Structure 1
Amino acid sequence: MKTVVIGDIHGGFRALKQLIERANLPSDTKYIFVGDYVDGWSQSAEVISYLIDFSQKYDCIFLRGNHDELLLNYLRTGDDNPMWLSQGGQSSVNSYSELSKTKKNIHLRFLENLQNYYIDSENRLFLHAGFTNQHGPQNEYYPNMVYWDRTLWEMVCAMDSSISENDDKYPKRLKLFKEIFIGHTPTIRVGYDKPANFANVWNVDTGAAFRGKLSMLDVDSKEIWQSEPVFKLYPNEFGRN
């Protein structure tokens, strides 16, 4: 069975559909989504509806991103804090204003049931952002760190690639898992327009919220599929630029 991991979507429904169609994977494929389904392009509600339907046909793991948690808070309480609105939240508010109460409740349950992290049978970790605890994400004092942390990615980007795992200076966090798959921080910020790998960490957020593409990675073969740059699919919008 093939297992693939999909990067941050940020309301780019057209890119998501295009990516799934381009990959055209077998029906027994396992799909792992790293979160941030919303906030950015204009179709956040459409993305969630599509994913709910998609999961009825395919084996899916849906992880929680920081933007998904912010939207959940808005749908629960109506809290539309200005910082969230300025970071893509307004696009989600607009998208959800057209949804029925019944549909909103279905989406609310989807967002509530997202997983903070997933560890597969081969000891590969999947989560939105990172973790800080040297004993793993399950031991984080603040559980929401797994969808806010950037230190894991910053660390591996700055690491000396010649350091051996047997070296005392080698980061203990990295020794816990065979591989770690994340999103959250766009790879385009460090000059990569495809999923990028440092040490045993793979980042599949290729900047779909900005001027990048939406990406999918085969966790075994490392084959990559991508949409068009998402901004080209929304020519009259600005995303999170």
Structure 2
Amino acid sequence: MSTFAIGDIHGGLKALLQVLNKLEVTEEDTLIFVGDYVDGWSESAQVIEFLIRLSEEINCIFIKGNHDVWCQNWLKEEDVNAIWYMHGGKETMDSYEGFSADKIKQHVSFFEGMPLYHLDAENRLFLHAGYTSIHGVEREIFKENFYFDRTLWELALAMDRSIDKDHVIYPKRLQHYNEVYIGHTPTTNFGETVPMNAVNIWNVDTGAAFKGKVTGINIDTKAYYQSDNLPDLYPNEKGRNK
């Protein structure tokens, strides 16, 4: 019985299927997705449809990302965010062509049911982006930080490793959880194509929206499995490389 964290997908169904095949998932395993299922490559609606079916067979936890919030709002006919449209939203809108009203309602319900974070029995936290409260996620004032914040990851990267965890100046934000798994900020921004670890933060967004891969990581062994680079799987598309 294993638990895997799955990084950002961004409409790359082919990449997701590659990763799941490499993970060799069984019915006893748990998959924790850290968000951003849509926006980028051409199969966003198909990714959501597949994940709904997958959750009927495998124990899955689907964290909500910022792109998922934007897509949900559009599906509910509440808002077409201009930033969203330019950063993968158009491709997502196109992917829903031909979907029935009933099917779209099912997808909206799927998005609406996504938690903003998950804390497991081993005090490991999973969320899309980060949090800012020194008291932890339960006392985060602005819930949007769960899917927009980048300062948690920046803090972890900039940490002086010589500071003892019990020292008075050790950031309290980093003391609450044994490990934290995030996506949102591609590791490819830092020249890395694989998951990155800084202090107790694990970043599993390996740039699928752009020229990178979708990644799944075993949170106990830290063994990770990756798809091909997304542009190789969708050679006639640009993703978010614009």
**Do Structure 1 and Structure 2 share a fold, with TM-score over 0.5?**
yes
Which segments of structure 1 move beyond 6 Å, counting only runs of 4 or more?
none
Aligned amino acid, residue 27 of structure 1: E
Aligned residue number for residue 25 of structure 1: 25
* CA RMSD, Structure 1 to Structure 2 (Å): 0.9
Aligned residue number for residue 91 of structure 1: 91
Q: Residue deviations 1:12-46, cap 9 Å, x none? A: 01101111112212321100000000000000000
Aligned residue number for residue 151 of structure 1: 151
Aligned residue number for residue 129 of structure 1: 129
Aligned amino acid, residue 176 of structure 1: H
Aligned amino acid, residue 128 of structure 1: H
- 1:178 and 2:178 equivalent? yes
Aligned residue number for residue 103 of structure 1: 103
Aligned amino acid, residue 86 of structure 1: M
Q: Secondary structure at the match of 1:162?
A: coil
User: Structure 2 CA distance, aligned partners of 1:101 and 1:78?
Assistant: 15
Q: Secondary structure at the match of 1:31?
A: strand
Aligned residue number for residue 65 of structure 1: 65
Between 1:176-185 and 1:19-28, the stretch displaced more is 19-28
- Residue correspondence of structure 1 range 156-175 to structure 2 within 5 A: 156-175=156-175
- 1:80 and 2:103 equivalent? no
How far 1:51 sits from its partner (Å)? Answer: 0.3
How far 1:161 sits from its partner (Å)? Answer: 1.8
How far 1:158 sits from its partner (Å)? Answer: 1.2
Aligned amino acid, residue 152 of structure 1: L
User: Structure 2 CA distance, aligned partners of 1:137 and 1:144?
Assistant: 12
- 1:42 and 2:42 equivalent? yes
Query: Identity over aligned residues, as a percent?
Result: 49
Q: Secondary structure at the match of 1:213?
A: coil
Asked whether the 8 Å contact 2:32–2:60 carries over to 1, the reply is yes
Aligned amino acid, residue 17 of structure 2: K
User: Structure 1 CA distance, aligned partners of 2:203 and 2:81?
Assistant: 29
User: Structure 1 CA distance, aligned partners of 2:183 and 2:145?
Assistant: 13
Unaligned runs of 5+ residues in structure 1 are none
How far 1:78 sits from its partner (Å)? Answer: 5.0
User: Structure 2 CA distance, aligned partners of 1:117 and 1:177?
Assistant: 13
Q: Residue deviations 1:144-188, cap 9 Å, x none? A: 210110000011111112221022221101100000000000011
Q: Secondary structure at the match of 1:228?
A: coil
